[in-house]
Structure 1
């Protein structure tokens, strides 16, 4: 024991040691008692928990049984509703199928009608496309004609000839006549009372106008404008030099432009060229203006022919008056004949009425009394008929 004290370094008496051991034992007992108390409480709590768990399990089993019953009832209800729903869905599907079938038939019918109309429209479109193709070919041909100088001249010549031929009689114009200077204008028109020929020229320079229309820059446009003035001015000088012959042609000539748009551009943008042509006694006309000029000339030719035929017209009118006089006399004679015929018809009616009255008297006579007197009424009747015939 002394050794123990030496190791710990604590100096204690045996009494202190005993007290310390006693305290230690008491502490151990307290610990054991606390542990036992705690274990009892734990057992009581565990028993309470088991009781509560058993009660909850019993409630859960009861709830499960009720839920099972409800689930069984719900299953039966859902089965019945499922059969009703299946029947309703089947009916609805049948109705929808019928409606869809009718809708498909209607759509098929309308689609067939639409296809028929579409085929008709396609046929119309095909015909229009064919006409458009023909028109395109004609336009291409016209472009080729306008691109070629000779063909373009023939085109202008053809339009000019068609206008003049439709407006004037045959003896009033001549195409491609030969003048004394061996020049041949496109057309020469002879007005009444004047042996001189009015010259119509159908050649017009188109290249300068084409270049002017297609000019992309300002310099190119200025050059094209100068070229237009130069080409048209040269053509005007050529007409004045070739076709103005004293005593053979008129002091006025016509320059035919075969396009209204070309004439409009010329009149709008080249007024100086128009004035230069007027000073040179050359009139520039479009197709519509040429038609108007030809109508004026047609009126002049018609008036001249009326004046030339005035004497013959007077003779024919005089003969017509004589025929009317003779017709009036013959109508008068015919009226006299009608009046005589009417009087004769009236006289015949009077005679017929007398004969009828005498016939009635004869019908009422009695021929049974005396036979010798039979011939007297007959003789009297014959005398009366003869008298009425003379009357």
Structure 2
């Protein structure tokens, strides 16, 4: 029977087909497939041996020769198959080794390319970081130069403004001084003109009166009788107490009118509020407190007294050489003056509405000299009664000093305007100092921001110290030209 070799050949063909199929699969699983193929070949071999043994047992006699022939052919075919399989495995190993070598070469090239690209990126980053540091340093230097220039301009502007303010103040002070001097000269001329005109008018009237009287004397003896009668009338007037007081008031009124302006004194003033007592004359002085009577006005009372009888008895005793009479008349005069001074102090003095002293006016220099001649009388009147005795000349000097005081007050009022201007300038200078302080704070904040930017820049530089900078073209390809230009414009801004 010849079907057994056919069966063996069919099995071998199937095995070959399986090998071919396995060889045509992917190269990654060739070794495992070869092992599987060898295992299957072994299984087929064992199965074939078992079948052959079984067939041999059943057909031992019939196929002995065919078996030998088949074994020989099978051996040759197996030998050829093994040779083909070995050749195929060798080719597969060679191809696999070639592919592995190619992959190794590609991997080496890729590694080298990656290393080159990393070197290029590191170099580009280093270059970019260096350029950024240089640009940032240049920007900081430009900012420092600009800041220094602005500070210099601000200092020059401040000095120029201070110079202008100083020049303006000096000019205003000079103008005020010149204005005050001009007004003082004008006031002096006005006062001199008024005094000159008043003196000329009074002297002219006096000379005209004397001329008229002399003309009347030269007309006849009858006029002399009329003059004698007038002298007698004058004596009677001086003898009457009320008339003498009126004459003293008239003389005091003339002095006040000559020396002071109408708004600097007043007549019949009630110096003590709600007392009903009115002094003949009172000088209006400016008060320091708004709560004083008269809306801030302080009154200086002046009362005219003329103890004519006591003075005449004293003069007559002196002419007679009567020592006792002189002593008695002097004592009477002293008592009368004390009584009048006490009455003035009680009726007209009430500080703070008035001054703490009053003036007792004696209309004749002789009477005033007799009062001064009394030892300790004027000091006693000033100490106990707070009354100062004044004659015509003394009162004129006192009024002159008061007039100078009024002028000084006027100058002080004008100087207050100067102080107000200086106060306004001081206020504006304080505001200017506030503006300088705010400018300094702004500059300090800018300096702190710059320091913080420098700290951040140094931190970034430390982080990028080991990173190589990319070339410009590589950085441009990586980031894009638009982003680079935007970053440069931001750094320049």
TM over 0.5: no
TM-score, structure 1 normalization: 0.44
TM-score, structure 2 normalization: 0.35
